[in-house]
């Protein structure tokens, strides 16, 4: 709910601020907003509401509404902010009334950062044109870069004099859009700007910690760069995870292809070896090996399709799944296979 309201505030606040030219001082932005005066107790909120009602009644010429018993009745305060936020804004303004729209420096830091997080590179640059000092705040742009693109090779380099994180943010945004249209051109763009180095491990980390890349284009790129895929698999840690949950996490980062083929077999093979490497004790206790995990993964995928597809009328029962799976994986216990079925039945598809 907070993010939804912040999105509405951002969509309304920015065009208005750009039209009216509302200013903002970056040097006061975080320290001033850090004074969390807006969290008040219910009693304080009630007192502020009564005080606000009195002030509105005085401003309206001392008019009061009369109830049914003929006594004076306070008019309920009608304001666009709750009493605590309104009191906070008045406190920051020195108790003076001010017309116009809210300045972001008047808001608590959590709300201000949430508003800015809804903006893309174009909107942030437009906002930077209005808030000149904020647009030149390198700490803000550095945080935006590292929160959106968690790993880049340039982060570990010694930055030259005059380096701008604002320019880097625009280059990262441009490179991501290019990658989503053509993966090879996108990676080439990052390398030409010195953002990434052509090393499989660096490219894998960039992909693993970035959520701005289109999964279809990413699948095409990883199918062509198997060395990057190998490094990307090693970044996953499946220790102490149940097999279906680990498979879901794997396909959340590396999306499964829509049809069965050589690429899907490669993904499941790499996952099976990585899962066994992360869980040596479990593999030893259950008698598993990469080949057995490979068979179980395929069984889980087929079971997921069977249970979730509306086109399959006769769903596979738990007894049928146990019987079919143990035919291919003899060393796996019946109880373990039964738990696999329960997980898919209750949670859902492993590759959704």
Q: Which of 18-32, 148-162, 189-203, 319-333 has the highest mean pLDDT?
A: 189-203
pLDDT grade, residue 220 (50/70/90)? very high
Task: Please say if the pLDDT value at position 232 is more than 80.
Answer: yes
Looking at 136-140, 196-200, 227-231, 298-302, which range is the least confident one? 136-140
What's the predicted TM-score (pTM) here?
0.62
C-beta of residue 2 within 8 angstroms of C-beta of residue 49: no
The CATH class that applies to domain 236-347 reads: mainly alpha
Beta strands in the chain (DSSP E): 65-66, 72-73
pLDDT given at position 205:
96
Would you state the pLDDT for residue 68?
A: 46
Neighbours of 157 (CB within 10 A): 12
The full set of domain ranges for the chain reads: 2-41+77-136, 140-229, 236-347
Stretch among 123-127, 226-230, 282-286 having the lowest mean pLDDT: 123-127
Q: Tell me how far apart the alpha carbons of residues 210 and 206 are, in angstroms, rounded to a whole number.
A: 6
* Residue 52 in this model has a pLDDT that exceeds 90: no
Report the share of the chain in percent with pLDDT over 90: 44
pLDDT band at 16 (very low <50, low <70, confident <90, very high): very low
Give pLDDT, residue 120.
Answer: 75
The pLDDT, as a whole number, for residue 121 is 73
Please work out, in degrees rounded to the nearest 5, the angle formed at the alpha carbon of residue 162 by the alpha carbons of 160 and 164: 100
CA-CA distance, 312 to 306, in Å (whole number)? Answer: 6
Taking residues 111-124, what's their average pLDDT? 74
Query: Which band of pLDDT confidence, cut at 50, 70 and 90, is reported for residue 65?
Result: very low
Q: What does the CA dihedral 283, 289, 294, 296 come to, rounded to 10 degrees?
A: -50
Give residue 115's pLDDT band: very low, low, confident or very high (50, 70, 90). confident
For position 329, what pLDDT does the model report?
84
Query: Torsions phi, psi of 278, nearest 5?
Result: -85, -15
Q: What is the mean pLDDT of residues 291-309?
A: 92
Q: What is the pLDDT of residues 250-283, one digit of tens each?
A: 998 898 887 778 889 999 999 999 999 999 998 8
Q: Do 130 and 21 contact (CB within 8 A), yes or no?
A: yes
User: What separation in angstroms does the CA of 252 have from each of 202, 236, 351, 352?
Assistant: 20, 11, 8, 8
Residue 201 · residue 230 · CB < 8 Å:
no
pLDDT at 286: 87
pLDDT at residue 93 above 70? no
At residue 258, the pLDDT reads 76
The Cβ of residue 93 has, within 10 Å, a number of other Cβ atoms equal to: 12
CATH class of the 140-229 domain in this structure = mainly alpha
* DSSP sequence for 116-140: HHT--HHHHHHHHHHSHHHHT-HHH
Average pLDDT over residues 157-179: 92
Q: Measured between alpha carbons, how far is 263 from 3 in angstroms, rounded to an integer?
A: 38
What is the structure's pLDDT at 149? 93
Q: How confident is the model at residue 67 (pLDDT cuts 50, 70, 90)?
A: very low
Task: Say whether pLDDT at 39 is over 80.
Answer: no
């Amino acid at each position: 709910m907070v993010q939804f309201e912040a999105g509405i505030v951002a969509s309304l606040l920015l065009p208005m601020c750009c039209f009216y030219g509302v200013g903002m001082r970056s040097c006061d932005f975080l320290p001033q907003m850090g004074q969390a005066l807006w969290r008040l107790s219910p009693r304080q909120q009630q007192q502020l509401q009564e005080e606000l009602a009195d002030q509105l009644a005085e401003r309206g010429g001392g008019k009061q509404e009369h109830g049914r018993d003929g006594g004076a009745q306070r008019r309920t305060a009608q304001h666009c902010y709750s009493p605590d936020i309104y009191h906070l804004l008045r406190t920051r303004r020195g108790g003076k009334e001010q017309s116009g729209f809210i300045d972001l420096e008047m808001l608590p830091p959590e709300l201000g950062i949430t508003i800015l997080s809804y903006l893309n590179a174009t909107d942030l640059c437009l906002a930077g044109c209005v808030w000149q000092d904020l647009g030149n705040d390198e700490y803000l742009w550095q945080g935006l870069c590292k929160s959106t693109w968690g790993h880049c090779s340039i982060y570990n380099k010694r930055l030259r004099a005059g380096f701008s994180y604002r320019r880097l943010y625009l280059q990262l945004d441009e490179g991501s859009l290019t990658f989503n249209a053509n993966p090879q051109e996108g990676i080439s763009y990052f390398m030409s700007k010195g953002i990434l180095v052509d090393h499989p491990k660096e490219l894998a980390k960039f992909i693993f910690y970035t959520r701005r890349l289109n999964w279809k284009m990413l699948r095409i790129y990883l199918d062509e760069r198997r060395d990057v895929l190998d490094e990307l698999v090693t970044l996953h840690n499946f220790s102490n995870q149940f097999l279906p949950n680990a498979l879901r996490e794997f396909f959340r980062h590396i999306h499964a292809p829509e049809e069965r083929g050589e690429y899907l077999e490669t993904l499941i093979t790499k996952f099976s070896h990585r899962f066994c490497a992360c869980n040596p004790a479990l593999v030893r206790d259950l008698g598993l090996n990469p080949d057995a995990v490979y068979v179980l993964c395929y069984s889980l995928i087929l079971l997921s399709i069977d249970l979730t597809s509306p086109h399959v009328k006769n769903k596979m029962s738990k007894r049928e799944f146990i019987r079919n799976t143990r035919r291919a994986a003899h060393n796996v216990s019946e109880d373990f296979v039964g738990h696999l079925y329960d997980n898919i039945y209750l949670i859902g598809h492993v590759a959704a």
